[in-house]
Structure 1
Amino acid sequence: MTLFTNREDAGRALGTALGRLRADAPVLLALPRGGVPVARAAADVLGAELDIVLV
């Protein structure tokens, strides 16, 4: 299991992994309470839009 130093580090790794999918216009959806920093970092890597889903 990979351990990350923080949520942003995990998000950058996620963005790199998702970048291999080659989506034309990716949109990341983030869940509050920890998911937003991860999704923001991933969206930055992908150059993607980010939206937050409240549940």
Structure 2
Amino acid sequence: MPFASAFFVLETLGVCWKLKNIIIILATTYVSAYCAKPIIGGHTLYIVDKVTIDSSSFI
């Protein structure tokens, strides 16, 4: 998700919330996602099992 990575960059690196910075960050994250798409593909990378909550796991 390039949009989520743009927020990560803004928050983690402490970049100013200027329109110019936001446009540059969105452009670079979308280009990187586009370049990685043929390698990674459109499928899920991490498979998480179904979580069940019962009394023993809750404690």
Q: Which has the higher helix share?
A: 2
Scaled by the length of structure 2, the TM-score of the pair is 0.29
Q: Which has the higher strand share?
A: 1
Scaled by the length of structure 1, the TM-score of the pair is 0.31
Structure of greater relative contact order (alpha carbons < 8 Å, 6+ residues apart)? 1
